[in-house]
Amino acid sequence: MIPGTQRTWVERDGVRLRVHHAGNGPLVVLLHGFPELAYSWRHQFGPLVAAGYRVVAPDQRGYGESSSPPDIEAFALEELARDVAAVIDHFGGGPAAVIGHDWGAPVAWHSALRFPGRIHAVGSLSVPHAARAPAPPLELMRSAAGPEFVHYVDYFQEPGLVEAEFEQNVRDSLLGFIWAISGDAPRDERFKPIQRGKRFLDSLTVPAAPPVWLTDQDLETYVAAFRHSGFRGGLNWYRNVNRNWEQAADLADAVVAQPALFVTGSRDPARNPTAIHRLHEVVPDLRVSAVLEGCGHWTQQERPEEVTQLLLEFLNAVCDASRTM
C-alpha cells in the first residue's frame, strides 16, 4: 500500500487492475515498469496530490494483485494501452497526463497515439519514444548481440526459463537486478552481457544490502508481491516485442502531438542515445528533457525529489487548461 492512497479495482474485458489513487484535480496516471509495481511511484504521490492533482497508478496487468491472463498476446501494447484508457475512463474520462517508467514508457507513448482524446500530455522516464524500427525488433536485437552473447530480451523469450531462475530466490533476484542497473553499482558490478550457455542471473551481482534509496521495507514490498504473482506476467510483455511492431504498422509515420516530458539518468543502461537525439522528430512538442547525472535506471526512486520537481514543472505548465474545466 502506498501511504496516503486508496485502492480500487478497474475492470476491462475480464481483466481486473488494482489501482492506487489519491487527490482531486487534473488527472495524472503513473505507469510502472519491470520488475516493479505502482509502489515505485510512492515518492511522487504526496507532492503531486499536495499540488492539486488527482494521481492514479495501477499495478499493470501481470503484476501484484492485478489479473495475469494466460495468453502471451494478452500483454501486447495494444491491450496495455486499452487498460490505460479504461483507467482514465474510470476516473472521469480525462483529459489525463500519462507518465510511464521503463515498460510503462512505451505504454504511455502508445496510449497517447491511440487515445489522443483522453490524453492531453505524456511523458516517460528512462525509455524515450522512437520511430518504428525498420524490421522486427527481436531480429535486430539478435543481430546486435553477435554470436557470443544473448540479448536479454531474446533470453526472456522462452516461457518458463527466466521465471524459474527469478522465482528460485525472489529476494536475491530482485535485489541483484535492481542493483546491477542502478546508478550506485560500481563498474564491475553493473549488468553484464549474457554469455551463450549462461543464465541471466549469472550477469548480476547481489549486494549485501539494498542501495540507500531502497529501504528493507521497500524491498520486502516488492518481494512479497512477486512471490504472490510470480514473474510470468511481467516477462510476457517482452514476448510481444515483434507483435507490438506488427500491430503498430499504421503508426509508422505518426508523431506524438501532445506536450511531452522525458527524463533519464546518465548511468541508465536503458538509455538509447540515438533515440534521445532524435526524440524531437517523433515528439515535436517536447517541453522537458533532462538527464540526471549519476542516476541509474530506477529514476523516480533513485532521485525522487528531482523527478518530482520536473514532473511538477511540466504538469503545472500543461494542465492549466484542465484546471479550468
pLDDT of the residue at 93 = 86
pLDDT tens-place string over residues 269-317: 988 899 999 999 999 999 999 999 999 999 999 999 999 999 999 999 9
Average pLDDT over residues 5-14: 96
Sign (positive/negative) of CA torsion 58, 62, 63, 64? positive
C-alpha cell at 178: 535492481
pLDDT of the residue at 77 = 98
pLDDT band at 24; cut points 50, 70, 90: very high
Average pLDDT over residues 144-160: 94
Asked whether residue 315 is domain-assigned, the answer is yes
Average pLDDT over residues 144-172: 95
Strand 149-150 and strand 194-195: the pairing is antiparallel
Contact 288, 313 (CB under 8 A): yes
Average pLDDT over residues 64-79: 98
pLDDT of the residue at 324 = 41
Average pLDDT over residues 247-264: 96
pLDDT of the residue at 268 = 96
pLDDT band at 95; cut points 50, 70, 90: very high
Sign (positive/negative) of CA torsion 250, 254, 257, 259? positive
What separation in angstroms does the CA of 254 have from each of 73, 104, 113, 241, 257? 23, 19, 8, 19, 9
- Is-catalytic flag, 268? no
Average pLDDT over residues 225-246: 97
Q: What are phi and psi of 205, to 5 degrees?
A: -115, 125
CATH code of the domain covering residue 290: 3.40.50.1820
pLDDT of the residue at 320 = 72
> What is the domain count for the chain?
1
pLDDT band at 171; cut points 50, 70, 90: very high
Average pLDDT over residues 97-122: 98
Asked whether residue 276 is domain-assigned, the answer is yes
pLDDT of the residue at 325 = 39
Please state, rounded to an integer, the average pLDDT across all residues of the chain: 95
Q: Considering 83, 102, 154, 268, which one is annotated as catalytic?
A: 102
Asked whether residue 251 is domain-assigned, the answer is yes
Asked whether residue 1 is domain-assigned, the answer is no
d(CA 162, CA 182): 21
Choose among 263, 125, 269, 303: nearest CA to 187: 269
- Is-catalytic flag, 102? yes
Q: Which domain holds residue 23?
A: 6-323
